[in-house]
């Protein structure tokens, strides 16, 4: 039985094998975790598709392959047994011969075991494209899809060749042939990462600029005409976020960026380049929330099985405010503002190895206990790498929580293609003036980063006003 | 120079050809005494008499059959369909008799069949159709559809002078909406030559008839968004001006085939096939059709408005294709 790189979401074309959890020769049960992968969207443990013996690993750790590439083979339980215990079964002679020897060490060298397995895809070398319209938002439930299917495209891409074909066009392929260029090395800005004519022309300009420029002391990743194809896949060198290289000093430790680190870098730079970020800061007295937690926390825990957290209150108030100011729950698509039909709330979760933003789907339909359960569940599974790709996509607004570590407020970067992100500061006691008296109250700063292309200051302030009002209105009856 | 509407240009074309060539005559329902349902033949009976402006009973097959016979005998009939939809009643005469005569006996049938096509005037399912695709696969026919008053006159005169049968479709939405200064002197617009109506660099829109005007409107709007449409008016639908089509596509690398008739089996399908076969390596995106849905033309005004692929449909398709 072939084990393939799973399709983790419609727009995902490839995945990196981070770790094999079994060695060749090990027996595996169906659904038992077999390997860990990292993709654009999510890190996940992939369960074994069937029970049996892991015969061979075709793609070593650290390599990136196309979706649907065969990464390993499993001999069915019965077949493996007969092969191991009796003479090789005639029909399974070849696999049996390979299983019989004691478990081979996991292939570590760069030697794909099967010709059809594409060599590790070299990193894309995406020079930052000239500022143009942002990529269209990924389809989100509740958003009206394009009416005509003319420009949709097939999914389930199998081989590298097919992928390259779907990601360019006849024109671009002809231009690439004329210029002896490799389309896979060009950053595509078209739908689903397609390399468009403009991308190719930009690529040519970049090469020209690079070749005509005066000798540069250090190679500029963005201007490198054709990055070496065999560059290690686990460390794509030239993400848009990749910095200039420099020689480390003696005593420095050099580590390649992980896939997740690279993706975060890429997304953050992309967002800063896309949105016109503006921040506003509000302060809220959360004494009543502290009291609710103190007085009802225990009961809430018993009834719902999860703790009553400050984040759940914020999530509830956020949903209320988004309903009151729907443009905060929108996305910019080309020159159209897409008002999302539902609120899918992203919650940033810090991990030891990075950051992920699981999404509470239909958060707008939930009460505080529903939100609290979803947050606990998603955060827990984020930390144990058990999120499904659907659970990290499709968000329409995001909450992040610098206050967990004591930060008073943050200036978060918008999670594209959303138009706003809320930062929740630490709760700390501060002297505040209440009706000419100074009182000691638990206070928290709320910061909003919004995209000024869509949201003007007045609208952002109105949104924050609604958020504060809704937060202050939370009482026992909401629990 | 005189300012003439699209329908007046048709009238003028008929008038001038009848004056210059005594073999030209008009035949159809209400073309004489009444002057034509849309007044295309108004005043012609008075000038040329009943022998050259012939009112007939309601029998399209009879009108076309008679015209074919007359044409074979040296006349140049111009048959009017009160609505081009009714040409279906004469389908056999057109595709088997008129179109094939040249191939069977080298007999020329210098006949023009003209009539109003198209929607947008609340005509309902029998009085709004665009029927070019019914005839596209019939060798021996020529099909033209003007978008401007200049072309309306020039193409009509070229059609009347053509030695073989020509179907001449007039978009009734344009009849009185289009007005142009027309030259006084005699001119024709040659059959088989497309005309670029707007030069653009991002997407070629290949179209004809009323859609030319919708395309120009859409182009104006998209220009503000930085999307540059190239608008090619085919003018002749059979035979197609492939050279102009190739030129547009190879320059813009993306193409929209835009017509008012239904999508399935429409001329857009033929154009997309030509583009795919002959310009494949110049395409930076799929050939995209913008056309009407596969239903009859609705009578209800709001439904008709939703049915017709107007500028908004073209704008949204162009935006998507531009992103592609």
Domain ranges of chain A: 2-99, 122-142+157-229, 267-478
Residue A334 with chain B: CB contacts under 8 Å: 225, 319, 323
Chain A touched by B293 (CB under 8 Å): no
What pLDDT is attached to residue A387?
A: 87
Between A87 and B94, residue with greater pLDDT: B94
Is there a contact between A169 and B280 if contact means CB atoms under 8 Å apart? Answer: no
Substitution target from B222, B285, B289, B290 for chain A, most A beta carbons within 10 A: B285
Q: What pLDDT is attached to residue A79?
A: 54
User: What is the average pLDDT across B13-25?
Assistant: 98
In this prediction, residue A37 has a pLDDT band, given cuts at 50, 70 and 90, of confident
Higher pLDDT, A298 or A242: A298
Chain A partners within 8 Å of B316 (Cβ): 146-148
Q: Is B282 on the interface with A (CB under 8 A)?
A: yes
| pLDDT (mean) for A137-161 | 42
What average pLDDT does this structure show over A308-315?
94
Task: Give the whole-angstrom CA distance, residue B257 versus residue B208.
Answer: 10
- Residues whose CB is less than 8 angstroms from the CB of residue B226 and which lie 6 or more positions away in sequence, other chains included: none
The single residue of B11, B127, B134, B213 carrying the catalytic annotation is B127
Task: Examine the pLDDT at A311 and tell me if it is beyond 50.
Answer: yes
Q: Which residue of A has its CA nearest to B291?
A: A148
Mean pLDDT of B198-211: 97
Residues in A whose CB is inside 8 Å of some CB of B read 133, 136, 146-148, 150-151, 169-174, 190-191, 194, 196-197, 334-335
Architecture of domain B2-182: 3-Layer(aba) Sandwich (3.40)
Question: Would you say residue A161 has pLDDT above 60?
Answer: no
As a whole number, mean pLDDT of residues B192-206 equals: 97
Domains A2-99 and A267-478 share a fold: no
Whether the full predicted model's pTM is greater than 0.90, yes or no, is no
| Domain ranges (residues) in chain B | 2-182, 195-323
Average pLDDT over residues B150-172: 98
Q: Give this complex's ipTM.
A: 0.71
Q: Do B320 and A151 touch (CB under 8 A)?
A: yes
User: For A379-413, how does the pLDDT look when each residue is reduced to its tens digit (9 = 90+)?
Assistant: 999 988 888 888 999 999 999 999 988 999 899 99
> Taking CB atoms and an 8 Å limit, are B253 and A136 in contact across chains?
no
Q: Poorest-confidence range of A173-187, B209-223, B249-263, B275-289?
A: A173-187
The verdict on B321 touching A (C-beta cutoff 8 Å) is yes
The stretch B186-208 carries a mean pLDDT of 97
Phi, psi for residue A314 in degrees, rounded to 5: -60, -40
Q: Is A43 a catalytic residue?
A: no
Q: What is the pLDDT of residue A11?
A: 61
* Architecture field, domain A267-478: 2-Layer Sandwich (3.30)
**Dihedral over Cα of A20, A23, A29, A30: its sign:** positive
Chains A, B: CB contacts within 8 A come to: 54
Fold match between domain B2-182 and domain B195-323: yes
Using CA atoms, how far residue B295 sits from B175, B291, B308, in Å, is 25, 11, 11
Q: State yes or no: pLDDT of B295 exceeds 80.
A: yes
pLDDT digits (tens, 9 = 90+) for B99-132: 999 999 999 999 999 999 999 999 999 999 999 9
Nearest of B256, B276, B264 to residue B214 by alpha carbon: B256
User: Collapsing DSSP states into helix, strand and coil, what is residue B87?
Assistant: helix
Q: Say if B316 is an interface residue toward chain A (CB within 8 Å).
A: yes
Fold (CATH) for B195-323? Rossmann fold (3.40.50)
A364-377 pLDDT, tens digit per residue, is 999 999 999 999 99
pLDDT band at A162; cut points 50, 70, 90: low
The residues near B73 (Cβ < 8 Å, ≥ 6 apart) are none
Which comes out higher in pLDDT, residue B38 or A161?
Answer: B38
Distance to chain A for B19, nearest Cα, Å: 50
Lowest-pLDDT range of A18-27, A71-80, B237-246: A71-80
Residue A378 host element (H or E): helix A368-383
At B199, the pLDDT band (50, 70, 90 cuts) reads very high
Could you read off the pLDDT of A91-119 as tens digits, one per residue? 444 444 444 444 444 444 444 444 444 44
Is residue A474 a contact partner of residue A313, using CB atoms and an 8 Å limit? yes
pLDDT grade, residue A224 (50/70/90)? very low
Q: What angle do CA B46, B49, B52 make, to 5 degrees?
A: 125
pLDDT of residue A120: 41
Mean pLDDT of chain A: 78
Identify all chain A residues contacting B283, using CB atoms and an 8 Å cutoff.
169-171
B127 classed as catalytic = yes
Domain at A2-99: CATH architecture: Beta Barrel (2.40)
């Amino acid at each position: 039985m072939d084990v393939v790189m799973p399709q983790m979401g419609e727009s995902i074309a490839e995945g990196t094998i981070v770790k094999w959890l079994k060695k060749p020769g090990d027996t595996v049960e169906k659904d038992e975790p077999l390997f860990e992968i990292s993709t654009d969207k999510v890190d996940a443990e992939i369960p074994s598709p069937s029970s049996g013996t892991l015969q061979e690993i075709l793609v070593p750790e650290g390599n990136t392959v196309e979706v649907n590439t065969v990464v390993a083979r499993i001999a069915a339980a019965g077949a493996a047994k007969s092969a191991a215990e009796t003479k090789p079964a005639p029909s399974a002679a070849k696999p049996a011969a390979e299983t019989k020897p004691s478990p081979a060490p996991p292939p570590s060298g760069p030697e794909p075991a099967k010709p059809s397995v594409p060599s590790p895809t070299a990193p894309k070398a995406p020079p930052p494209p000239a500022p143009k319209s942002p990529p269209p938002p990924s389809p989100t439930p509740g958003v009206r899809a394009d009416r005509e299917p003319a420009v949709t495209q097939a999914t389930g891409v199998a081989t590298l060749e097919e992928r390259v074909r779907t990601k360019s066009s006849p024109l671009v392929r002809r231009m690439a042939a004329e210029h002896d260029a490799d389309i896979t090395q060009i950053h595509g800005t078209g739908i689903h990462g397609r390399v468009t004519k403009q991308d190719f022309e930009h690529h040519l300009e970049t090469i020209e600029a690079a070749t005509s420029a005066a000798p540069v002391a250090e190679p500029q990743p963005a201007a490198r005409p054709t990055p070496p194809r065999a560059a290690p896949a686990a460390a794509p060198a030239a993400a848009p976020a990749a910095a200039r290289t420099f020689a480390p000093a003696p005593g420095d430790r050099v580590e390649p960026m992980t896939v997740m680190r690279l993706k975060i870098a890429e997304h953050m730079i992309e967002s800063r380049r896309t949105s016109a970020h503006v921040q506003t800061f509000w302060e809220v007295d959360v004494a009543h929330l502290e009291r609710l937690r103190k007085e009802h926390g225990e009961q809430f825990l018993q009834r719902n099985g999860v703790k009553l957290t400050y984040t759940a209150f914020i999530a509830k108030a956020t949903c209320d405010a988004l309903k009151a100011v729907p443009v905060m729950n929108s996305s910019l698509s080309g020159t159209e503002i897409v008002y999302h039909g539902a609120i899918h709330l992203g919650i940033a979760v810090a991990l030891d190895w990075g950051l992920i933003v699981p999404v509470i789907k239909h958060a707008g339909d939930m009460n505080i206990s529903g939100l609290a359960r979803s947050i606990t569940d998603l955060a827990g599974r984020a930390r144990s790498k058990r999120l499904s790709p659907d659970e990290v996509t499709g968000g329409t607004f995001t909450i992040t929580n610098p206050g967990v570590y004591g930060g008073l407020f943050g200036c978060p970067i918008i999670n594209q293609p959303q138009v706003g992100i809320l930062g929740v500061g630490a709760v700390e006691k501060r002297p505040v003036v209440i009706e000419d008296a100074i009182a000691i109250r638990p206070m928290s700063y709320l910061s909003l980063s919004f995209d000024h292309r869509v949201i003007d200051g007045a609208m952002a302030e109105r949104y924050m006003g609604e958020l504060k009002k809704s937060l202050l209105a939370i009482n026992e009856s909401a629990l | 120079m005189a300012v003439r509407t699209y329908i007046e240009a048709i009238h003028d074309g008929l008038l001038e050809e009848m004056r210059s060539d005594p073999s030209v005559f008009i035949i159809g329902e209400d073309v004489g005494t009444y002057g034509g349902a849309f007044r295309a033949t108004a005043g012609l009976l008075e000038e040329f008499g009943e022998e050259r402006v012939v009112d007939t009973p309601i029998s399209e097959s009879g009108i076309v059959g008679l015209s074919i016979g007359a044409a074979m005998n040296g006349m140049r009939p111009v048959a009017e369909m009160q609505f081009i939809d009714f040409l279906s009643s004469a389908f056999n005469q057109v595709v088997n008799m008129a179109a094939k005569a040249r191939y069977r006996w080298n007999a020329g049938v210098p006949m023009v069949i003209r009539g109003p096509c198209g929607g947008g005037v609340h005509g309902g399912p029998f009085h709004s159709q665009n029927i070019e695709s019914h005839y596209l696969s019939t060798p021996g026919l020529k099909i033209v559809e003007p978008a401007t008053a200049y072309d309306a006159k020039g193409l009509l005169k070229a059609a009347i002078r053509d030695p073989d049968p020509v179907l001449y479709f007039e978009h009734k939405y344009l009849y009185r909406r289009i007005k142009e200064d027309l030259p006084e002197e005699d001119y024709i617009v040659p059959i088989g030559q497309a005309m670029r109506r707007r030069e653009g660099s991002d997407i070629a829109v290949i179209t004809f008839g009323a859609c030319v005007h919708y395309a120009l409107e859409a182009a104006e709007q998209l220009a503000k968004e930085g999307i540059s449409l190239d608008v090619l008016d085919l003018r002749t639908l059979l035979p197609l001006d492939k050279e102009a089509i190739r030129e547009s596509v190879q320059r813009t690398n993306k193409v929209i085939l835009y017509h008012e008739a239904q999508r399935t089996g429409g001329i857009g399908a033929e154009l997309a096939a030509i583009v795919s076969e002959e310009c494949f390596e110049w395409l930076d995106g799929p050939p995209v059709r913008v056309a009407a849905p596969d239903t009859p033309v609705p009578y209800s005004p709001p439904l008709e408005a939703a049915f017709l692929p107007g500028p908004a449909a073209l704008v949204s398709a162009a935006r998507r294709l531009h992103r592609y």
